[in-house]
């Protein structure tokens, strides 16, 4: 069993307080303003997005490799939607593109959907709708076919 930890500290009242977090080499500051008003600093949703984009990209690499394709690069953006009225994450949209020689768009989409369904972070976030909004092979990859 692999275990990973992160720590967070919050100081003060919700509107004028502030917090900090760290996990390994990642650390940052967060506040009410950064989370709900577009102020400076990080948000929990950004951390979830980074974790999801990273996990998805690794899972997609796994499934591509299993099919005999070595990706030159996979770029994934995870957009985490927070509804402040409900205090709920209402959805996550994944957008990915990759440079992979010898692969058609439909097979790439199939493997991207498999990665979305099977990456550990997607599984952990199972209560939230997760949509693979786009999956594209980049032009450089398409030209090499």
pLDDT at position 98 is 97
Q: What is the mean pLDDT of each run of 10 residues along the chain (145 residues)?
A: 96 97 96 96 97 98 97 97 96 97 94 98 96 86 47
pLDDT for residue 145: 45
What Rg, from alpha-carbon coordinates, does the chain have?
18
- pLDDT of amino acid 139: 64
Instruction: Kindly give, in sequence order, each residue whose CB lies less than 8 Å from that of residue 14, ignoring residues fewer than 6 positions away.
Output: 32
CATH class of 44-144: alpha beta
CA distance 111 to 88: 29
Pull the structure tokens for residue 25. 């080499």
Which pLDDT score, from 0 to 100, does residue 9 have? 98
Distance, CA of 19 to CA of 45 (rounded, Å): 14
Q: What is the pLDDT of residue 119?
A: 97
Q: What is the pLDDT of residue 143?
A: 52
- Contact predicate 34/44, CB 8 Å: no
pLDDT of residue 138: 84
DSSP 8-state code for residue 102: T
Query: What was the pLDDT predicted at 140?
Result: 56
Q: Tell me the domain boundaries of the chain.
A: 7-36, 44-144
User: For 9, phi and psi rounded to 5 degrees?
Assistant: -130, 135
């Amino acid at each position: 069993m692999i275990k990973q930890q992160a720590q967070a500290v919050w100081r003060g009242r919700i509107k004028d307080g502030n917090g900090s977090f760290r996990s390994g080499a990642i650390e940052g500051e967060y506040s009410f303003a950064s989370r709900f008003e577009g102020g400076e600093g990080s948000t929990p949703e950004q951390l979830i997005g980074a974790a999801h984009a990273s996990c998805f990209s690794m899972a997609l690499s796994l499934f591509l490799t299993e099919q005999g394709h070595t990706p030159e690069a996979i770029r994934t953006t995870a957009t985490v939607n927070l509804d402040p009225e409900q205090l709920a994450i209402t959805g996550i949209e994944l957008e990915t593109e990759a440079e992979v020689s010898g692969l058609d768009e439909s097979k790439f989409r199939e493997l991207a959907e498999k990665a979305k369904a099977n990456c550990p972070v997607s599984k952990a976030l199972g209560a939230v709708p997760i949509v693979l909004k786009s999956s594209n092979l980049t032009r450089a990859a398409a030209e090499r076919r």
